[in-house]
Structure 1
């Protein structure tokens, strides 16, 4: 008999459109547009932000997956712990597959000198000479971080509803706006910029910092789901 965690993972795995087809359709459509621009305009080298499309999609997927499957799964007598574990397992598998594909496309992009038109679509800063292993790790962490960011937002909405989500973003806006106002009033921007420049994180250090943030987001989303109610 399959475990309840495996049941949840398989439930997500059947939805290949949400996890695999749609994000890659969005990404590849962006690539085609940028490739056409490179083919027609023929700039020497140009970098696009098209890769952001799949990162943003993973954020949205993390938000939507709770709404689509949480109540249904609990209606099948699946515990919140099993639901969370199964969701993380399925998402981790699809994210790993996507990271592998992105790393392969990055290698192809480098081997063809930007697809023959000088297009740098899959290349991130500091990854040009880092090798396939680090590229794979970086893509995996970025996608995972975005997914858990979305999962946290979706869990917050499930736990506290629209009012709770609105209050959270309002509070975050006030805190960030207040901090910005203080820094501006005290003329600290140059000092803040200098401090950030001195940090000088390597790509490896940055990925491990994002991994730590991802683990925090995962813990927060799990704690929120433990107290979330089932809605129709």
Structure 2
């Protein structure tokens, strides 16, 4: 099956899909731990370790497509199968990083910040719920960022830089209009209170329709994307 050939292409690039992310995470954690060791005091030191992987998943969605699409088409892989292979890789990576973060968050909590008051994996608010809720929060976050990057990359390939520029301008216009309306009707405080009243788990549920939209849109666009 062509989907297996596509997966083989991705699996050969373990540096991009795994090793680089682990190196980034390890170096950033080591940096944070060093700061915690050499800075005296009882105050907790907070470094958002999850943000590095969120950004990396977005980058993987963008570069994973741009680096392998033409090659996969040359290997006679169907566009549908290629998209499926990208989706599998993205979901698999999201699952792997989620397991790692939840597991290390438990250890960090048990060891009181690795014995140095460091907050790197067990982040306030995001890790307030039970293990299942923490799992959903991180998994949906990683998956959302990956498929957003994939959609942008496929959209840019299909509609070129001009189409991407138009999309970007339309997005900025929508954001600007939303800010003006919120300011005009003075609902900033209501919006802030709405976020405060919801847990990270409850907010992460909103990622589900967004992620499904990114997946559906990227799937429909790639079917008509030229090499």
Q: Following TM superposition, by how much is the alpha carbon of 1:95 offset from its aligned partner in structure 2, in angstroms?
A: 2.1
Residue 13 (1) aligns with residue 7 (2): no
Report the equivalent of 2:137. 138
Q: Distance in 1 between matches of 2:38 and 2:18?
A: 30
Mapped to 1, the partners of 2:114 and 2:210 lie a distance apart of 34
Residues 74-95 of structure 1: per-residue CA shift (max 9 Å, x gap): 1111111000011111222222
Partner residue in 1 for 2:215? 218
Quick check: 88-97 or 217-226, which moved more?
A: 88-97
Match of 1:59 in 2: 58
Residue of structure 1 equivalent to 2:200: 203
Structure 1 unaligned residues grouped into runs of 5+: none
Separation in structure 2 between the aligned mates of residue 56 and residue 179 of structure 1, nearest angstrom: 25
5+ unaligned residues in a row in structure 2: which ranges? Answer: none
Which whole-Å deviations, capped at 9, do the CAs of 1:192-227 have from their partners, x for residues lacking one? 434544xx3333322322122111110011111111
Q: CA deviation at 1:139?
A: 1.9
Single out whichever of 169-178 and 112-121 deviates more from structure 2: 169-178
Query: Superposed, which structure 2 residues align to 1:62-211 within 5 Å?
Result: 62-197=61-196, 200-211=197-208
Match of 1:227 among 220, 224, 227: 224
For 2:20, the equivalent position in structure 1 comes to 22
Deviations 1:48-78 (A, max 9, x none): 2232011101001101111101111111111
- Give, in angstroms, the shift of residue 42 of structure 1: 2.9
> What is the aligned length?
226
Runs of at least 4 residues off by over 4 Å: 194-197
Q: Kindly indicate whether the alpha-carbon contact (under 8 Å) linking 1:42 and 1:117 is maintained by their aligned counterparts in 2.
A: no
| Farther off after superposition, 74-83 or 176-185 | 176-185
